[in-house]
């Protein structure tokens, strides 16, 4: 959600080297973006960003709360909703087979990463 392509590449390389399933990687990302979306909606309803992050269930680890709050200041609810949809579409593509699961997952995540970079400028 930070738009750091180097971090994304490192994380994906680690996941693939540990034989992680592409669907599970995508679902983990979906969960994170859903949490961001929930906090973003709460923030738009008038809840302070920090409080919106602290109210998430399951709770966000205290070391990640400031990072998530900073991400909420960049991502809009619409862009978060779009990211969740892209991740779901990528999961469906992986489940349908016929291609390289790692490539489908990597392309979806790279697209989201690039979108964050574009919106952060």
C-alpha 104/C-alpha 42 separation (Å) is 32
C-alpha 13/C-alpha 87 separation (Å) is 18
Give pairs for 55-63: CB < 8 Å, separation 24+. 60/35
**Domain architecture of the chain: domains with CATH:** 5-119 (1.20.272)
Structure confidence by residue, pLDDT tens digits, 19-40? 999 999 999 999 999 999 999 9
pLDDT for 116 equals: 80
Structure confidence by residue, pLDDT tens digits, 28-77? 999 999 999 999 999 999 999 999 999 999 999 999 999 999 999 999 99
Tell me what the mean pLDDT of segment 102-112 comes to: 94
Tell me what the mean pLDDT of segment 74-90 comes to: 94
The string of DSSP letters for 77-100 reads HHHHHHHHHHHHHHHHHHHH-SS-
Task: Assess whether pLDDT exceeds 50 at residue 121.
Answer: no
Tell me what the mean pLDDT of segment 93-100 comes to: 87
Helical ranges in the chain per DSSP H: 5-17, 22-44, 49-54, 65-72, 77-96, 101-119
Residues 6+ apart with CB under 8 A from 22: 94, 101, 102, 104, 105
Task: Assess whether pLDDT exceeds 80 at residue 113.
Answer: yes
Local confidence band at 82 (pLDDT 50, 70, 90 cut-offs) = very high
Tell me what the mean pLDDT of segment 91-117 comes to: 90
């Amino acid at each position: 959600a930070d738009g750091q392509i180097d971090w994304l590449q490192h994380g994906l390389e680690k996941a693939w080297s540990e034989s992680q399933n592409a669907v599970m990687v995508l679902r983990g990302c979906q969960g994170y973006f859903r949490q961001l979306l929930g906090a973003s909606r709460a923030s738009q309803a008038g809840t302070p960003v920090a409080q919106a992050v602290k109210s998430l269930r399951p709770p966000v680890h205290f070391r990640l709360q400031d990072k998530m709050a900073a991400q909420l200041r960049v991502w809009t609810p619409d862009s978060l909703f779009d990211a969740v949809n892209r991740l779901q579409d990528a999961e469906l593509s992986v489940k349908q087979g016929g291609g390289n699961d790692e490539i489908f997952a990597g392309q979806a995540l790279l697209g989201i990463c690039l979108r964050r970079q574009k919106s952060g400028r």
